[in-house]
Amino acid sequence: MKRLTQLASNWFDLPPEVVGTLPRVEWIGQQLQIENFIGVHQFNPDLLTLKTATGYLTVEGNSLVMEAIYPDRILLTGKISAVHMKNNE
Amino acid sequence: MRGGTVTIECVGQNISNLLDQIVQAKIVLKNVQWVSKEKVRITVFLSDIMQVWKYMKQYRVAGKMVKKSGPFFMFKKIKKRKFFVIGFSIFLFLLFFFSSFIWYVDVEGNEQLPDKHVLSILQKEGIYPGQLKVGLPNTDQLQRKLLKRIPNASWIGVRIEGTRIIVTVAEKKRVDSIGEKKLIRRPVDLISKKNAFIMDVRVFHGNPVVKVHDAVKKGQLLVSGTYGEATSPNKGPIVGAQGIVLGEVWYESEVVVPLKYVQNEYTGEKTRYTWPFVGPFVLSNPFSTPKPYAKSELMRRISALRIGKYQIPIGLVRDVYWSVRQVTYTRNHADAIALGKKRARLEMTNTIAPEGRILGEKVLHQRIDNGKVYLKIHFDVVENIAQEKPILQGD
């Protein structure tokens, strides 16, 4: 299934976030929206680590609040200072 | 009634794992927030609470409900205050129930027609206190029906104001009250106003002395006001004469129509001035010339301040000067004669009104002199020649 969607994306030249399972991060001011995550690895007031298809996505900041968690996306607010990625090998 | 959200405070070691588990189970969480170290506040939909509760036990996280909101919990609260809710709904019901009836029927605007008469007719049409407002007929139809039932009314208006029906009646003016005035009898004879040829005699009271086709002279007795034999007056009782005697009379009228005449025409130009006024004084600018044209006509509109129904002698005067030019026109001969005839006819009809009428007309003479048309027209008319003359009762 995964391979099939990848194939479709290559064939039809679609943007990968539309079809894929790749994480997509949208950062607007103090709000961060993360789509296509797999699970929550760690959650603290100053740290949120999410498991994604490509690796661990870490968000650092102060007084982080997850406004909403839907099955496919997270809305995060707070004083965000850094977003970094630890890729899978 | 099943919707709602619950806010739970979780305390424990494995909170991150719990959150991961909840996310994996595709449960929607809201406002995930750290209250303090190792204490997280989460908001869950009511339908997911059992599942979340299960996971919390599994990860040994202690939970405490902090806030409940939504219709489910509202409903629970209402159940506790049952009597208050019942009372309030009864109150609302009664309010609607009693305002859906008609409680008053008012009749206004009637002078001669008694209220009871109108009310009884309304009752027949189904409008009386205690009637449901829903079953009422359409007001337009009702007005028409009532108007048929009350012939003395010239207009009837029906309007509903809340629980009150107001019926406005406009009564007809009674005809006989106007006619009565004419029937005042005075002790008079009717005599002839001028020399004439009798065409018609209409006598309401009295004893006619002349017949149709008689020729009468000015001052001749037409209708005697004395009862009995007309030839031997001063005998019967005096009843007073009243009537119309139509006689044929000749008139000669002269008309002058100028061939040239001057008319004022608006040119369309105008100038506006607006001045304030206090009492009788207009506060205008004394240095400005208020007459902008050689010839103009002034139209003045005054708008005064008003408080309620009281007028305050302070306001604005709006002057508009309309520019006027004088134009001289010339009529041709035929038009002038036609106009002269028309004017003469109009004048004639005014003098012999209301009973009289014109039988015939003839232009006797016409001449043009000094740019004017002189006409002499003969009219053959029928008019009322009767004139009242008091009967002098001998001492």
Is residue B207 located within the same domain as residue B236? yes
The phi and psi torsions of B309 (rounded to 5 degrees) equal -105, 5
pLDDT tens figures, B208-239: 888 889 899 998 888 888 776 656 656 667 77
Domain count, chain B: 4
Nearest CA in chain B to A39: B20
What domain range is B119 assigned to?
A: 104-171
For the record, the structure tokens of B143 come out as: 């007005």
A74-83, B49-58, B167-176, B232-241: least confidently modelled range: B232-241
* Range from A74-83, B21-30, B162-171, B224-233 carrying the lowest mean pLDDT: B224-233
- Residue B339 counted as domain residue: no
More confident residue, A25 or B309: A25
Among B147, B171, B195, the domain boundary falls at B171
Q: DSSP assignment, residue B226?
A: B
Q: Is the same domain home to B155 and B191?
A: no
Res. B173: pLDDT tops 90: no
In a domain, B89, yes or no: no
Shortest Cα–Cα distance, A63 to chain B (Å): 8
Cβ–Cβ of B19/A43 closer than 8 Å?
A: yes
Tell how many helices (H) and how many strands (E) occur in chain A.
2, 6
Residues B138 and B165 in one domain: yes
Distance from CA of B100 to the nearest CA of A (A): 50
Tell whether B166 and B115 lie within a shared domain.
yes
Shortest alpha-carbon distance between residue B68 and chain A (Å): 18
Angle, vertex CA B99, rays to CA B95 and CA B104, nearest 5? 140
CATH code, B108: 3.10.20.310
Chain A residue closest in CA terms to B41: A65
Domains of chain A, earliest start first:
22-87 (2.60.40.2000)
Residues B166 and B189 both lie in one domain: no
The interface predicted TM-score (ipTM) is 0.77
CB contact under 8 A, B20 and A69: no
- Looking at the structure, do residues B151 and B198 belong to the same domain, yes or no? no
pLDDT in tens, B313-322: 888 888 888 8
Chain B residue closest in CA terms to A78: B33
d(CA B326, CA B242): 54
Structural domain ending residue among the three candidates B247, B273, B292: B247
State how far residue B160 is from chain A, nearest Cα, in angstroms: 55
Asked if the structure places residue B360 within a domain, the reply is no
Continuous H helices in chain B: 15-24, 49-58, 71-80, 82-98, 115-124, 139-149, 175-179, 333-352
Q: Is residue B121 part of a domain?
A: yes
Q: Chain A contacts of B16, Cβ < 8 Å?
A: 40-43
B216 belongs to a structural domain: yes
Residues B140, B195, single domain; the answer is no
Asked if B192 and B159 sit in the same domain, the reply is no
Q: Is residue B232 part of a domain?
A: yes
In the predicted model, what is the mean pLDDT of residues B71-83?
Answer: 86
Which of residues B247, B272, B288 is at a domain's end? B247
- Residue B111 domain flag: yes
Which residues, including other chains, have CB under 8 Å from residue B28's CB and lie 6 or more apart? A68, A69, A70, A71, B44, B45, B48
* B46: DSSP letter: G
CA distances from A88 to A24, A52, A54, A55, A57 (A): 16, 10, 6, 5, 11
A65–B31 CB contact, under 8 Å: yes
Predicted pLDDT at B354: 81
Look at residue A49 and tell me whether its pLDDT is greater than 80: yes
Q: Which of B86, B238, B224, B102 is nearest to B161 (CA)?
A: B102
B95 in any annotated domain: no
Nearest to B24 among A39, A66, A70 (CB): A39
